[in-house]
Chains A and B, each alone.
Chain A
Amino acid sequence: MPAASSPPRATRHQPSWLRGLGVLAVLTSLLVACGQKPGVHVAAEPGVVAGGTGPGVGVVGGATGVPPAVTGGDLAGDLPTSDAATGAGGTGVDEATGGGADAVGAARQPAQPAQQPAEPAGQPAQQPQPPPAGGNAPRGRDRTGVSEGEIRIALHAPQTGAAPLPTKSFEQSRDLYWRWLTEQQGGEVLGRRKVVVTFADDKYQPSSASQVCRQLMEGHFLLLGGGGTDQIQACGRLASARNVPYLSAGVTEAGLQGLPWYFAASMSYRAQGRLLAQFVKRNFGDAKVAMIVTDTPNFDDAVQGWEAAVREVGINYYKTQKHPRGDTSWYATYGDDMASNGVQVLYVLSSPLDYIRFAQQNDDAGFRYVGVGITMGLNAVLANGCPQVHGGVFFSPFPGLDWARQHEPAFFQAAGTFGTPDDDLSLAMWGLAKQLHVMFERYRGVHGNELTREDFRAVVEQQRGLETGLFPTLNYSPQDHFGASTVHVLQANCDAGEHTTLATFVSGF
């Protein structure tokens, strides 16, 4: 043993009575001291408003062209161009005509009295809005987060913790749309000049999410879920228990289906499974297909939806393989098993980090990756996953940046003006805010500017044809709060460093 020769150390620091009391005093005051301010990281910057405009309707007009699909070998060529008139308010994929305004835009206009005629995006609309047509007085009472001059909403998303996302964009772009709308465009939201968006970090943990959401509900009208299935589920359930409206991109239906206060802004994983099976059948024919999915109950409905569609469509299927969470030793083993059983196409439903590592460890197997959801189609996946993830095709609630550059220039102008990131996650936040704006406009048509939680919920669940030109068109009903029926199709392009938009607003293949 190393020498045990030094003298007992404890006697060196003969503590004094005063010091002891001091330490105790400091410690007992800790709890009181933390009470200075709420722990939620509030980073809201209000915007100022004048005048009003429709909810970005102008952008919708020419929003359906499919850019030529250029990447990823054989896939691009076979891409379907399905009919242009599926889905109630939405559209199928147009022929790749290079975009431009066309008649589809008119067909997609929601039939609402309060809607302004379409205006070109990016041009300020200074005319004051006419008074709302629908003037029913609201019946609800809960005006949390709503005051004379502003509406406060909140966003939770992972920023620290093991989140596999470039997470600063959530916070930086949280209110980009609203600031652009009110400060740049001179718009109003329900007659108010400010929309304050508070951001909270849910640390990529369900319990942290519950904690921050509980706090956010206190002073905010509505909650937005930025990402992370488990966290969205936890907060969505909490929100419904407390009668707080909650909006997020579609993830799992488990525990969220049937909740009165939860609204999905895009298709659930389960529903996307049917589209994906059609896509795989159409593009890969009889190639052998398998699925790798993280072992969590929140993906069970996704697996069911997919497997049912696989049988229905008639895919040459190997198996659905669940992989353990949080472990890093299975990639090569599972990949070898898939490859040696002749699997060519792999549906991966996991965290992006797992996907990237799997692709990296099985580089030689030549799998074609497909999938659904939100995170896999993020360009951040390319930053870490190239070149192995090149060519992977993933559905997404929002289109790729290449498409947005043509059809949603306002986003890039706004990002430039306010100095926020112009990445795809910011675009997603932009799209979600736009979706919410459309909901607010519909509400104005019914109840005017008096906003209550109860009435907002009741109005939104009756709405059909909620359009933004970014997120899928939503057709809600009181029975179904997963109102979307279309997806965008993105393909990883390592040469461009971002996803290429293969098709937009697709409702079938």
Chain B
Amino acid sequence: MVKLLPGGRPRVRTGVPQPPPPPPSGRPTDDAARRLPVATSRWRPSAAGAAARLAVLTVILGSVLAAPLLLPAPLVLIAAKAVVFMLAALSMNVLMGYAGQVSLGHGAFVAVGAFASGYVLTIMQLPWAAAAVAAMSLGGLAAAVLGAVALRVRGLYLALVTLAYDLFVTFTVLNVRALTGGGAGQPAPRPAFATDDLAYVYLGLVIVALVWVFDWRLTASKAGRAIQALRDDERVAASWGIHVTRYKLLAFVISGTVAGLAGAYFAGIEQIVATADFGFTLSLTIVLMTVVGGLGSRPGVVQGAIVFAALPTLLETAHEQLAWWPRWLGSLWEPFVGALLLVLVLVFYPGGIAQQQAPLLRWLGWQRLHAPEHVALGGGGGGPGARP
């Protein structure tokens, strides 16, 4: 008899984010949830090492901040698209990377957030902040519904349910005209303080930074470690006294909330949101970028998101400007290249981008460049110290 693996955990788990200094806590579940007690956590870099790390972090942060300025005006919104993808990937990472729950319907949460935002802005005429809050709440709610199902259904079956859920949302819910404006779409203006493209992109970067910090604190918290314990084995986690139902639902709600926020931001990019923007291709693309980036690693999935956001333009640019570039390899190939990346990553580099950068990310995370042997097994980076 073939059995489903409980929890359906992807083998590619990488980057077990280790809290460097374990926050003091008296609850035994904390110790239970914390995996691989790492001796290196007490290690501190020398003054020169700290300076070097700070310098590199500053350069990275600086180039991220400067990137939108360097883009020519028509392409600034690619950075905005990257913001949406980053948020979606971080959201997916909570579910797939931390909690080990696969979702093939993540596009549905983004869609719910986007249309919630459009509805609040256009029909209810409320300010943007209210729209963002509504998007997050409804995204979280939509995910909580799915999370409730996930309490009973696991692994592959859960993947199927998320897929059917995605279709249900895109075909049925998004076509309820009173809510979404039907096929014509719902206008969703930007907030008054960020109507300019560049301002909107920086608003997005601020949102990403906030979510990043939230995610970092989450992984360092008791709840975060409990969620990660679910990924490995729910029964073991339960035996450690972890409240499986509560933390699984929590993971879904957090993930859906962030995805809803991604949707609200997405709606403002073109200031119109239409049913045609969503579909299972979007959901799969979110899975793709998260896996390619490296499950469980914040820097990894964010980079994966940037790759997928930039890929069409990169292909287009290469196609038009590089003499040696194959003539046939235009932007039409972008979904193909993306899917190929996924398959290659799964076959050859299960840890994705994060695995490739593991030493670097560890170094940036205020640790040694080369980890002790038993830690290297995870392969992934994602040191929580890699600050935004």
Report yes or no: A9 in contact with B75, Cβ–Cβ below 8 A: no
Q: Mark B336-367, 1 if CB is under 8 A from A, else 0.
A: 00000000000011110101111111010000
Report yes or no: B332 in contact with A35, Cβ–Cβ below 8 A: no
Q: Mark A37-50, 1 if CB is under 8 A from B, else 0.
A: 11111000000000
Q: Could you list 29 examples of A-B contacts with CB < 8 Å?
A: A1-B3, A1-B5, A10-B378, A11-B376, A13-B379, A15-B379, A20-B359, A20-B361, A24-B360, A27-B303, A28-B67, A31-B67, A32-B63, A34-B75, A34-B78, A34-B310, A35-B71, A37-B317, A37-B321, A39-B74, A206-B185, A214-B77, A215-B74, A233-B184, A255-B184, A296-B177, A324-B175, A325-B175, A325-B275
Q: Does A509 contact B (CB under 8 A)?
A: no
Q: Bound state CA distance, A206 and B271, in angstroms?
A: 10
Q: Does A128 contact B (CB under 8 A)?
A: no
Chain A contacts with B in 140-185, Cβ cutoff 8 A:
160, 162
Contact among B2, B64, B320, B355 with A10 in the assembled complex (CB-CB below 8 Å): B355
Q: Mark A1-30, 1 if CB is under 8 A from B, else 0.
A: 100000011110111110111011001101
Q: Bound state CA distance, A11 and B358, in angstroms?
A: 12
Q: Mark A173-212, 1 if CB is under 8 A from B, else 0.
A: 0000000000000000000000000000000111100110
- Given contacts A28-B60, A40-B74, A207-B272, are A297 and B182 in contact (CB under 8 A)? yes
Smallest CB-CB separation from B13: which chain A residue?
Answer: A10
Q: Does B82 contact A (CB under 8 A)?
A: yes
Contact among A16, A205, A255, A325 with B277 in the assembled complex (CB-CB below 8 Å): A205
Q: Does B14 contact A (CB under 8 A)?
A: yes
Q: Mark B79-96, 1 if CB is under 8 A from A, else 0.
A: 100100000000000000
Q: Bound state CA distance, A279 and B269, in angstroms?
A: 44
Report yes or no: B359 in contact with A15, Cβ–Cβ below 8 A: yes
Chain B residues contacting A286 (CB-CB under 8 Å) are none
Report yes or no: B314 in contact with A295, Cβ–Cβ below 8 A: no
Q: Which residues of B contact A (CB under 8 A)?
A: 2-3, 5, 11, 14, 60, 63-64, 67-68, 70-75, 77-79, 82, 170-171, 175, 177, 181-185, 269-277, 303, 306-307, 310, 312-314, 316-317, 320-321, 331-332, 348-351, 353, 355-361, 363, 369-370, 376-379
Chain B residues contacting A32 (CB-CB under 8 Å) are 63, 67, 70-71
Other contacts beyond A10-B355, A13-B351, A211-B269: 17, CB < 8 A: A10-B14, A10-B378, A14-B376, A20-B360, A21-B360, A24-B303, A31-B67, A35-B71, A39-B313, A39-B317, A207-B276, A211-B270, A215-B74, A218-B74, A230-B184, A325-B183, A325-B275
Chain B residues contacting A40 (CB-CB under 8 Å) are 74
Q: Bound state CA distance, A11 and B185, in angstroms?
A: 49
Contact among B14, B274, B348 with A206 in the assembled complex (CB-CB below 8 Å): B274
Smallest CB-CB separation from B303: which chain A residue?
Answer: A27
CB distance from B351 to the nearest CB of A (A): 6
- Given contacts A35-B75, A326-B171, A327-B171, are A13 and B361 in contact (CB under 8 A)? no
Q: Bound state CA distance, A34 and B271, in angstroms?
A: 23
Chain B residues contacting A206 (CB-CB under 8 Å) are 184-185, 270, 272, 274, 276-277
Contact among B63, B77, B353, B360 with A17 in the assembled complex (CB-CB below 8 Å): B360
Report yes or no: A20 in contact with B356, Cβ–Cβ below 8 A: yes
Q: Bound state CA distance, A20 and B361, in angstroms?
A: 8
Q: Bound state CA distance, A10 and B351, in angstroms?
A: 7
Q: Does A103 contact B (CB under 8 A)?
A: no
Chain B residues contacting A160 (CB-CB under 8 Å) are 332
Q: Which residues of A contact B (CB under 8 A)?
A: 1, 8-11, 13-17, 19-21, 23-24, 27-28, 30-41, 160, 162, 204-207, 210-211, 214-215, 218, 230, 233-234, 254-255, 294-298, 324-327
Smallest CB-CB separation from A36: which chain B residue?
Answer: B317
Report yes or no: B78 in contact with A39, Cβ–Cβ below 8 A: yes
Smallest CB-CB separation from B267: which chain A residue?
Answer: A207
Contact among B60, B171, B177, B317 with A297 in the assembled complex (CB-CB below 8 Å): B177
- Given contacts A10-B350, A234-B185, are A36 and B321 in contact (CB under 8 A)? yes
CB distance from B35 to the nearest CB of A (A): 15
Q: Bound state CA distance, A455 and B377, in angstroms?
A: 70
Q: Bound state CA distance, A27 and B171, in angstroms?
A: 36
Chain A residues contacting B353 (CB-CB under 8 Å) are 23, 27
Q: Bound state CA distance, A115 and B242, in angstroms?
A: 85
Chain A residues contacting B377 (CB-CB under 8 Å) are 8, 10-11
- Given contacts A27-B307, A36-B321, are A17 and B171 in contact (CB under 8 A)? no
Contact among B64, B74, B182, B269 with A295 in the assembled complex (CB-CB below 8 Å): B182
Q: Bound state CA distance, A507 and B269, in angstroms?
A: 42
Report yes or no: B184 in contact with A296, Cβ–Cβ below 8 A: yes
- Given contacts A28-B63, A205-B274, are A211 and B77 in contact (CB under 8 A)? yes
Chain B residues contacting A41 (CB-CB under 8 Å) are 316, 331
- Given contacts A17-B369, A37-B321, A207-B273, are A31 and B79 in contact (CB under 8 A)? yes
Q: Bound state CA distance, A324 and B182, in angstroms?
A: 10
Report yes or no: A230 in contact with B183, Cβ–Cβ below 8 A: yes
Chain B residues contacting A13 (CB-CB under 8 Å) are 348-349, 351, 355, 379
